[in-house]
Protein backbone atom coordinates (compact mmCIF):
# COMPACT_ATOMS: atom_id res chain seq x y z
CA UNK A 1 0.00 0.00 0.00
CA UNK A 2 2.73 2.40 1.08
CA UNK A 3 4.85 1.50 -1.94
CA UNK A 4 1.91 1.75 -4.31
CA UNK A 5 1.14 5.22 -3.05
CA UNK A 6 4.76 6.31 -3.36
CA UNK A 7 4.88 4.92 -6.87
CA UNK A 8 1.76 6.82 -7.86
CA UNK A 9 3.11 10.05 -6.42
CA UNK A 10 6.49 9.50 -8.06
CA UNK A 11 4.86 9.09 -11.43
CA UNK A 12 3.03 12.38 -10.94
CA UNK A 13 6.22 14.15 -9.88
CA UNK A 14 7.87 12.94 -13.06
CA UNK A 15 4.87 14.01 -15.12
CA UNK A 16 5.05 17.54 -13.74
CA UNK A 17 8.81 17.63 -14.38
CA UNK A 18 8.58 16.29 -17.91
CA UNK A 19 5.62 18.47 -18.75
CA UNK A 20 7.61 21.54 -17.79
CA UNK A 21 10.58 20.34 -19.81
CA UNK A 22 8.38 20.01 -22.89
CA UNK A 23 7.07 23.53 -22.28
CA UNK A 24 10.66 24.72 -22.01
CA UNK A 25 11.56 23.11 -25.32
CA UNK A 26 8.58 24.77 -27.00
CA UNK A 27 9.57 28.06 -25.45
CA UNK A 28 13.10 27.66 -26.83
CA UNK A 29 11.52 27.17 -30.25
CA UNK A 30 9.68 30.47 -29.91
CA UNK A 31 6.18 29.03 -29.58
CA UNK A 32 5.02 31.46 -26.89
CA UNK A 33 4.76 35.21 -26.68
CA UNK A 34 3.46 35.18 -23.09
CA UNK A 35 5.98 35.07 -20.24
CA UNK A 36 6.52 31.55 -18.91
CA UNK A 37 7.55 30.98 -15.29
CA UNK A 38 8.67 27.39 -14.90
CA UNK A 39 8.89 25.78 -11.47
CA UNK A 40 11.50 23.12 -12.06
CA UNK A 41 12.37 21.73 -8.63
CA UNK A 42 8.92 22.52 -7.17
CA UNK A 43 7.25 19.34 -8.36
CA UNK A 44 7.02 17.45 -5.06
CA UNK A 45 5.04 20.13 -3.24
CA UNK A 46 2.73 20.64 -6.21
CA UNK A 47 1.94 16.94 -6.39
CA UNK A 48 1.47 16.75 -2.63
CA UNK A 49 -0.95 19.69 -2.58
CA UNK A 50 -2.92 18.21 -5.44
CA UNK A 51 -2.98 14.85 -3.68
CA UNK A 52 -4.22 16.42 -0.45
CA UNK A 53 -7.06 18.24 -2.18
CA UNK A 54 -10.45 16.59 -1.89
CA UNK A 55 -13.63 17.20 -3.85
CA UNK A 56 -14.70 20.82 -3.54
CA UNK A 57 -11.33 22.07 -2.28
CA UNK A 58 -10.07 25.18 -4.04
CA UNK A 59 -6.54 26.18 -5.00
CA UNK A 60 -5.39 29.74 -5.65
CA UNK A 61 -2.10 30.28 -7.43
CA UNK A 62 0.52 32.79 -8.47
CA UNK A 63 2.26 33.66 -11.72
CA UNK A 64 4.47 30.59 -11.13
CA UNK A 65 1.65 28.11 -11.41
CA UNK A 66 2.49 25.64 -14.15
CA UNK A 67 3.50 22.87 -11.74
CA UNK A 68 0.20 23.00 -9.88
CA UNK A 69 -1.81 23.20 -13.07
CA UNK A 70 -0.01 20.13 -14.39
CA UNK A 71 -0.45 18.31 -11.09
CA UNK A 72 -4.19 19.02 -11.05
CA UNK A 73 -4.80 18.42 -14.74
CA UNK A 74 -2.01 16.66 -16.63
CA UNK A 75 -3.29 17.53 -20.09
CA UNK A 76 -0.15 19.14 -21.47
CA UNK A 77 -1.61 19.93 -24.86
CA UNK A 78 -4.17 22.26 -23.25
CA UNK A 79 -1.36 24.19 -21.61
CA UNK A 80 0.75 24.40 -24.73
CA UNK A 81 -2.20 25.72 -26.72
CA UNK A 82 -3.11 28.16 -23.97
CA UNK A 83 0.41 29.55 -23.77
CA UNK A 84 0.27 30.01 -27.54
CA UNK A 85 -3.02 31.92 -26.99
CA UNK A 86 -4.84 29.39 -29.12
CA UNK A 87 -8.65 29.55 -28.66
CA UNK A 88 -8.62 25.79 -28.05
CA UNK A 89 -6.29 26.24 -25.07
CA UNK A 90 -7.22 25.28 -21.53
CA UNK A 91 -8.54 28.78 -20.87
CA UNK A 92 -9.66 29.46 -24.44
CA UNK A 93 -6.44 31.34 -25.08
CA UNK A 94 -7.59 34.17 -22.84
CA UNK A 95 -5.32 33.84 -19.83
CA UNK A 96 -1.92 32.80 -21.07
CA UNK A 97 0.48 31.52 -18.44
CA UNK A 98 0.70 33.93 -15.53
CA UNK A 99 -3.07 33.93 -14.89
CA UNK A 100 -3.76 30.35 -15.94
CA UNK A 101 -6.59 28.98 -13.86
CA UNK A 102 -8.72 25.91 -14.35
CA UNK A 103 -11.95 25.94 -12.36
CA UNK A 104 -12.72 22.39 -13.40
CA UNK A 105 -9.51 21.28 -11.73
CA UNK A 106 -10.33 23.24 -8.55
CA UNK A 107 -8.26 26.29 -9.47
CA UNK A 108 -10.67 29.24 -9.64
CA UNK A 109 -8.16 32.06 -9.44
CA UNK A 110 -4.55 32.71 -10.37
CA UNK A 111 -2.97 36.13 -10.00
CA UNK A 112 0.24 37.50 -11.41
CA UNK A 113 0.29 40.27 -8.80
CA UNK A 114 2.53 39.62 -5.81
CA UNK A 115 0.44 38.46 -2.81
CA UNK A 116 -2.84 39.28 -4.54
CA UNK A 117 -4.26 35.75 -4.29
CA UNK A 118 -3.66 35.71 -0.55
CA UNK A 119 -6.34 38.35 0.01
CA UNK A 120 -8.86 36.59 -2.20
CA UNK A 121 -8.43 33.25 -0.42
CA UNK A 122 -10.26 34.14 2.82
CA UNK A 123 -13.25 35.19 0.72
CA UNK A 124 -13.28 31.91 -1.17
CA UNK A 125 -12.94 29.97 2.08
CA UNK A 126 -15.64 32.00 3.80
CA UNK A 127 -17.90 31.63 0.80
CA UNK A 128 -17.52 27.86 0.79
CA UNK A 129 -18.35 27.73 4.50
CA UNK A 130 -21.44 29.89 3.99
CA UNK A 131 -22.56 27.51 1.28
CA UNK A 132 -22.24 24.70 3.82
CA UNK A 133 -19.26 23.00 2.23
CA UNK A 134 -16.75 21.32 4.51
CA UNK A 135 -13.75 21.98 2.30
CA UNK A 136 -10.37 23.70 2.39
CA UNK A 137 -9.01 26.55 0.33
CA UNK A 138 -5.34 26.21 -0.55
CA UNK A 139 -3.39 29.29 -1.56
CA UNK A 140 0.19 29.22 -2.78
CA UNK A 141 2.66 32.05 -2.43
CA UNK A 142 6.40 32.60 -2.28
CA UNK A 143 9.04 33.99 0.02
CA UNK A 144 8.97 37.27 -1.88
CA UNK A 145 5.22 37.73 -1.44
CA UNK A 146 5.35 37.19 2.31
CA UNK A 147 7.04 40.58 2.48
CA UNK A 148 3.80 42.18 1.34
CA UNK A 149 1.28 43.32 3.93
CA UNK A 150 -1.35 41.14 2.29
CA UNK A 151 0.38 38.05 3.68
CA UNK A 152 -0.13 39.12 7.27
CA UNK A 153 -3.55 40.55 6.49
CA UNK A 154 -4.82 37.35 4.93
CA UNK A 155 -3.67 35.20 7.83
CA UNK A 156 -5.26 37.57 10.32
CA UNK A 157 -8.45 37.75 8.27
CA UNK A 158 -8.59 33.99 7.86
CA UNK A 159 -8.07 33.42 11.56
CA UNK A 160 -10.62 36.08 12.49
CA UNK A 161 -13.39 34.68 10.28
CA UNK A 162 -12.53 31.01 10.94
CA UNK A 163 -11.58 30.32 7.32
CA UNK A 164 -10.35 26.81 6.55
CA UNK A 165 -7.28 27.69 4.52
CA UNK A 166 -3.91 26.11 3.88
CA UNK A 167 -1.35 28.76 2.99
CA UNK A 168 1.63 27.22 1.22
CA UNK A 169 4.79 29.34 1.13
CA UNK A 170 7.25 28.07 -1.44
CA UNK A 171 10.53 29.37 -0.09
CA UNK A 172 13.16 29.25 -2.81
CA UNK A 173 15.21 32.03 -1.25
CA UNK A 174 14.87 34.31 -4.23
CA UNK A 175 12.71 37.17 -5.39
CA UNK A 176 13.61 38.03 -8.97
CA UNK A 177 17.38 38.52 -8.84
CA UNK A 178 17.90 38.98 -5.12
CA UNK A 179 18.29 36.42 -2.41
CA UNK A 180 16.59 36.89 0.92
CA UNK A 181 19.72 38.05 2.71
CA UNK A 182 20.26 40.69 0.04
CA UNK A 183 16.93 42.38 0.59
CA UNK A 184 15.54 41.83 4.05
CA UNK A 185 15.81 40.52 7.54
CA UNK A 186 14.87 36.85 8.02
CA UNK A 187 11.22 36.08 8.76
CA UNK A 188 10.44 33.24 11.12
CA UNK A 189 7.10 32.01 9.85
CA UNK A 190 6.67 29.62 12.73
CA UNK A 191 6.77 32.52 15.16
CA UNK A 192 4.33 34.43 12.98
CA UNK A 193 1.99 31.45 13.01
CA UNK A 194 2.35 31.18 16.76
CA UNK A 195 1.51 34.85 17.14
CA UNK A 196 -1.74 34.30 15.27
CA UNK A 197 -2.37 30.92 16.92
CA UNK A 198 -2.49 28.99 13.69
CA UNK A 199 -0.98 25.57 12.89
CA UNK A 200 2.41 25.57 11.21
CA UNK A 201 4.51 23.02 9.34
CA UNK A 202 7.88 23.32 7.63
CA UNK A 203 8.79 20.78 4.97
CA UNK A 204 12.04 20.09 3.20
CA UNK A 205 13.61 17.15 1.42
CA UNK A 206 11.23 16.79 -1.56
CA UNK A 207 9.84 13.41 -0.49
CA UNK A 208 6.41 13.42 -2.15
CA UNK A 209 4.93 10.86 0.22
CA UNK A 210 6.12 12.72 3.29
CA UNK A 211 4.81 15.98 1.85
CA UNK A 212 1.45 14.48 0.91
CA UNK A 213 0.90 13.03 4.37
CA UNK A 214 1.72 16.33 6.06
CA UNK A 215 -0.49 18.25 3.64
CA UNK A 216 -3.41 15.92 4.20
CA UNK A 217 -3.09 16.27 7.96
CA UNK A 218 -2.80 20.04 7.73
CA UNK A 219 -5.87 20.21 5.50
CA UNK A 220 -7.89 18.17 7.96
CA UNK A 221 -6.73 20.35 10.83
CA UNK A 222 -7.68 23.52 8.96
CA UNK A 223 -11.16 22.15 8.38
CA UNK A 224 -11.64 20.70 11.83
CA UNK A 225 -10.38 23.76 13.70
CA UNK A 226 -11.80 26.20 11.10
CA UNK A 227 -8.52 28.02 10.85
CA UNK A 228 -5.84 28.90 8.38
CA UNK A 229 -2.79 26.64 8.53
CA UNK A 230 0.61 27.80 7.37
CA UNK A 231 3.08 25.59 5.54
CA UNK A 232 6.58 26.65 4.57
CA UNK A 233 8.26 24.40 2.08
CA UNK A 234 11.90 24.77 1.06
CA UNK A 235 12.35 24.49 -2.69
CA UNK A 236 15.21 24.92 -5.11
CA UNK A 237 14.16 26.53 -8.34
CA UNK A 238 16.27 24.68 -10.87
CA UNK A 239 17.35 25.86 -14.29
CA UNK A 240 20.07 28.30 -13.29
CA UNK A 241 23.09 28.73 -15.50
CA UNK A 242 26.48 30.41 -15.66
CA UNK A 243 26.69 33.43 -17.90
CA UNK A 244 30.10 34.63 -19.03
CA UNK A 245 30.42 38.34 -19.72
CA UNK A 246 33.41 40.55 -20.57
CA UNK A 247 33.20 41.92 -17.03
CA UNK A 248 32.83 38.48 -15.47
CA UNK A 249 34.86 36.06 -17.63
CA UNK A 250 34.81 33.52 -14.82
CA UNK A 251 31.04 33.43 -15.21
CA UNK A 252 28.10 34.74 -13.20
CA UNK A 253 25.34 32.59 -11.72
CA UNK A 254 21.98 33.44 -13.28
CA UNK A 255 19.15 32.27 -11.07
CA UNK A 256 16.19 31.02 -13.07
CA UNK A 257 13.20 33.32 -12.74
CA UNK A 258 11.26 33.22 -15.99
CA UNK A 259 11.48 32.41 -19.66
CA UNK A 260 13.74 29.79 -21.15
CA UNK A 261 15.91 27.57 -18.99
CA UNK A 262 18.72 27.25 -21.56
CA UNK A 263 20.66 24.44 -19.91
CA UNK A 264 17.62 22.24 -19.33
CA UNK A 265 17.25 19.75 -22.18
CA UNK A 266 14.47 17.22 -22.48
CA UNK A 267 16.59 14.68 -24.29
CA UNK A 268 18.96 14.42 -21.30
CA UNK A 269 16.14 13.11 -19.12
CA UNK A 270 14.35 14.49 -16.09
CA UNK A 271 17.20 14.69 -13.59
CA UNK A 272 18.51 18.24 -13.25
CA UNK A 273 20.59 18.20 -10.06
CA UNK A 274 22.22 15.48 -8.05
CA UNK A 275 21.06 16.55 -4.62
CA UNK A 276 17.82 16.56 -2.65
CA UNK A 277 17.00 19.96 -4.07
CA UNK A 278 15.83 18.04 -7.11
CA UNK A 279 12.73 15.92 -6.43
CA UNK A 280 13.78 13.57 -9.23
CA UNK A 281 17.07 12.89 -7.43
CA UNK A 282 15.05 12.06 -4.30
CA UNK A 283 13.08 9.53 -6.34
CA UNK A 284 16.34 7.99 -7.53
CA UNK A 285 17.08 7.10 -3.93
CA UNK A 286 13.78 5.20 -3.73
CA UNK A 287 13.56 3.47 -7.08
CA UNK A 288 15.91 1.48 -9.27
CA UNK A 289 17.06 3.05 -12.52
CA UNK A 290 14.88 0.64 -14.47
CA UNK A 291 11.80 1.29 -12.39
CA UNK A 292 12.30 5.02 -12.62
CA UNK A 293 12.67 4.83 -16.39
CA UNK A 294 9.42 2.90 -16.57
CA UNK A 295 7.73 5.46 -14.33
CA UNK A 296 9.05 8.27 -16.52
CA UNK A 297 7.63 6.62 -19.60
CA UNK A 298 4.24 6.27 -17.93
CA UNK A 299 4.46 9.85 -16.72
CA UNK A 300 5.14 11.08 -20.22
CA UNK A 301 2.17 9.12 -21.50
CA UNK A 302 -0.05 10.58 -18.77
CA UNK A 303 0.52 14.05 -20.19
CA UNK A 304 -1.45 13.02 -23.26
CA UNK A 305 -0.83 13.50 -26.93
CA UNK A 306 1.19 16.56 -27.79
CA UNK A 307 1.32 17.72 -31.37
CA UNK A 308 4.71 18.51 -32.81
Where does this chain bind another protein (CB under 8 A)?
A: 94, 99, 101, 103, 108-113, 116, 118-128, 130-131, 149-150, 153-154, 156-157, 160-161
Strands 200-203 and 228-234, how do they pair? parallel
> Rounded to the nearest whole angstrom, what is the least distance from the CB of residue 146 to another protein in the complex?
14
> Rounded to the nearest whole angstrom, what is the least distance from the CB of residue 150 to another protein in the complex?
6
- Nearer to another protein among residue 41 and residue 89 (C-beta): 89
> Rounded to the nearest whole angstrom, what is the least distance from the CB of residue 95 to another protein in the complex?
8
Beta bridge partners of 170: 142, 233
Q: Give the neighbor-by-neighbor strand order of the sheet with 165-171.
A: 109-110, 58-61, 137-142, 165-171, 228-234, 200-203
E strand segments, 33-164: 58-61, 109-110, 137-142
Asked if residue 1 lies in contact with residue 64, where contact means CB atoms within 8 angstroms, the answer is no
> Rounded to the nearest whole angstrom, what is the least distance from the CB of residue 49 to another protein in the complex?
19
Q: Whole-angstrom Cα distance, residue 281 to residue 206?
A: 9
- Nearer to another protein among residue 99 and residue 236 (C-beta): 99
Beta bridge partners of 140: 168
- Nearer to another protein among residue 49 and residue 91 (C-beta): 91
- Nearer to another protein among residue 99 and residue 172 (C-beta): 99
- Nearer to another protein among residue 110 and residue 227 (C-beta): 110
**How many other CB atoms are there within 10 angstroms of residue 1's CB atom?**
5
> Rounded to the nearest whole angstrom, what is the least distance from the CB of residue 108 to another protein in the complex?
6
- Nearer to another protein among residue 228 and residue 279 (C-beta): 228
Q: Whole-angstrom Cα distance, residue 24 to residue 37?
A: 10
> Rounded to the nearest whole angstrom, what is the least distance from the CB of residue 261 to another protein in the complex?
27
> ∠69-62-155 over CA atoms, to 5°?
120
Q: Whole-angstrom Cα distance, residue 147 to residue 9?
A: 32
Amino acid sequence: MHEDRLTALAERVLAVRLGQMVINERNKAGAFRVPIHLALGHEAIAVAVSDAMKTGDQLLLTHRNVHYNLARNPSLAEKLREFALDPTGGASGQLGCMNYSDAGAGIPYTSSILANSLSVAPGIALGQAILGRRVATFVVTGDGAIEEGAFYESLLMGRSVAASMVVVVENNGWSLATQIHERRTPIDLEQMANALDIPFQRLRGNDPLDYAEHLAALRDEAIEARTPALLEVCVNTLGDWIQETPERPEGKLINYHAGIAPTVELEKGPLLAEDIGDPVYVLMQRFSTEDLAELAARAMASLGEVSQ
